[in-house]
């Protein structure tokens, strides 16, 4: 995921609960991402953590007294309410959650929340019975209606010994959620279909034709487009990659399954064909395992559908159709032919070999459109995904 937290002013409110020590890890990771962090420790949090520990990590004083004035003679609760980009309550206890929901303002943190119109995010942590209490549920609904973002706790063994919901969300997931709030929604309102990974064409119940595609490039592009606000559908062949969290993933195997899923989701604004889909499939599938008694085995193949061409010539053709061209020789000439034959708008061409093009490795890309050829420098696939995303953003800006 792209980092949108650099130079963001973040106010962290820490309330009293056994999970409040984990907010130290949150501060450290936010600082590593370039965020400017201020912190309020509530009175109850000081029963669990040491103020000096927080101040050492922050490199500044924490805020705790409602009636103190800053060196600039500004009232703390108004200054913090107006100057921050976002307010996080991590962890948020049931007591503090109830006070927010009912407009109580009896300390600095609650005054800041009442006075602020900025983004507000709550990550609750509490006993399972408290989390499931109807009063807590009612308060959560109240807060959601007034645009508080609630990061629901996970299930597991709690400090009290119970098992169930109530554990603080993982810090990395909290950061991902905050990051998405600040992502520029430059592709908001656009629908994207992207294919990734290898296809699998079955020969018999235990054998198949496939390739070395890991899906890494397609997943990175899908993640980037989703970060920029696009409604993204990732149609994926079998991979070992973690499924992206903020977009819809549809798992398929064969070329026919790929096309069925793509076609059923048209119309869309952008189609990106990154998947390495086999050009051929077995003409006659064997329902039983083909035995190895013969010294020679003759298999007959037939052509698969050309998904990129079918989408490019579809009645509901997307506004932008992008293909990928993996070649072992004559990269540019073969890729230009593909651009014309497939009738797509752009071709992303790369030369593949045993040491290039597959997996999380550097790659050298040529970007090809009808009257333009750009030879990009060698980059890793994350950088390539970002560069392609910027190209797409600029394309729709012009439109």
Q: In which residue ranges of the chain is pLDDT below 50?
A: 69-73
| pLDDT score, position 160 | 62
Element (H, E) at 181: helix 171-182
Tokens of 54: 């927080």
Q: Which residues are catalytic?
A: 160
| pLDDT score, position 72 | 40
* All structural domains of the chain with their residue ranges: 9-182, 191-288+296-398
| pLDDT score, position 71 | 44
Residue 22 per-residue DSSP state = G
Q: 9-182 with 191-288+296-398: one CATH topology?
A: yes
Distance from C-alpha of 260 to C-alpha of 282, rounded to nearest angstrom = 19
- CB burial of 245-280 (b: ≥16 within 10 Å; e: otherwise) equals eebebbebbbbebbbebbeebeebbbbbbbbbbbee
| pLDDT score, position 73 | 44
| pLDDT score, position 67 | 58
| pLDDT score, position 339 | 96
Residues pairing with 193 in the sheet: 233, 271
Tell me, yes or no, if the pTM score tops 0.85.
no
| pLDDT score, position 296 | 79
* C-alpha Rg value of the chain to the nearest Å: 27
Four-way CATH pick for 191-288+296-398: 3.40.50.10300, 1.10.510.10, 3.40.50.720, 3.40.50.300: 3.40.50.10300
Nearest to 275 by CA among 316, 305, 298: 305
Distance from C-alpha of 292 to C-alpha of 297, rounded to nearest angstrom = 9
Residues pairing with 120 in the sheet: 87, 148
Q: How many CA atoms lie within 13 A of 257 on its CB side?
A: 18
Four-way CATH pick for 9-182: 3.40.50.720, 3.30.565.10, 3.40.50.11540, 3.40.50.1950: 3.40.50.1950
Per-residue pLDDT tens digits for 344-383: 999 999 987 655 556 557 788 999 999 999 999 988 998 9
């Amino acid at each position: 995921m792209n980092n949108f937290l650099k130079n963001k002013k973040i106010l962290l409110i820490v309330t009293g609960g056994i999970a409040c020590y984990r907010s130290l890890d949150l501060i450290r990771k936010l600082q590593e991402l370039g965020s400017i962090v201020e912190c309020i420790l509530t009175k109850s949090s000081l029963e669990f953590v040491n103020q000096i520990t927080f101040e050492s990590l922050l490199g500044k004083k924490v805020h705790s007294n409602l009636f103190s004035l800053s060196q600039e003679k500004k009232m703390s609760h108004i200054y913090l309410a107006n100057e921050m980009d976002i307010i996080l309550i991590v962890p948020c206890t049931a007591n503090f959650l109830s006070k927010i929901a009912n407009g109580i303002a009896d300390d600095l943190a609650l005054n800041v929340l009442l006075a602020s119109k900025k983004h507000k995010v709550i990550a609750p942590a509490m006993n399972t019975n408290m989390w499931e209490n109807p009063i807590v549920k009612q308060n959560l609904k109240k807060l959601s209606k007034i645009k508080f973002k609630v990061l629901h706790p996970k299930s597991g063994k709690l400090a009290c010994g119970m098992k169930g919901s109530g554990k603080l969300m993982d810090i990395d997931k909290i950061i991902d959620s905050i990051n998405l709030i600040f992502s520029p929604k430059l592709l908001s309102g656009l629908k994207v279909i992207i294919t990734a990974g290898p296809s699998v064409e079955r020969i018999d119940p235990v054998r198949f034709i496939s390739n070395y595609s890991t899906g890494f490039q397609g997943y990175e592009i899908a993640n980037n487009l989703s970060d920029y606000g696009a409604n993204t559908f990732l149609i994926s062949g079998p991979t070992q990659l973690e499924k992206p969290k903020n977009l819809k993933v549809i798992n398929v195997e064969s070329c026919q399954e790929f096309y069925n899923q793509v076609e059923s989701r048209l119309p869309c604004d952008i189609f990106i064909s990154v998947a390495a889909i086999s050009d051929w499939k077995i003409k006659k599938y064997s329902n039983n395992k083909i035995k190895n008694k013969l010294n020679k085995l003759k298999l007959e193949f037939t052509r698969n559908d050309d998904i990129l061409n079918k989408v490019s010539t579809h009645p509901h053709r997307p506004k932008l159709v992008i293909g990928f061209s993996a070649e072992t020789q004559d990269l540019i000439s073969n890729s230009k032919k593909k651009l014309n034959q497939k009738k797509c708008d752009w071709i992303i061409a790369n030369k593949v070999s045993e040491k290039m093009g597959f997996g999380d490795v550097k790659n050298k890309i040529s970007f090809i459109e009808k009257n333009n050829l750009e030879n990009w420098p060698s980059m890793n696939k994350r950088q390539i995904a970002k560069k392609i995303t910027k190209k797409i953003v600029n394309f729709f800006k012009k439109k």
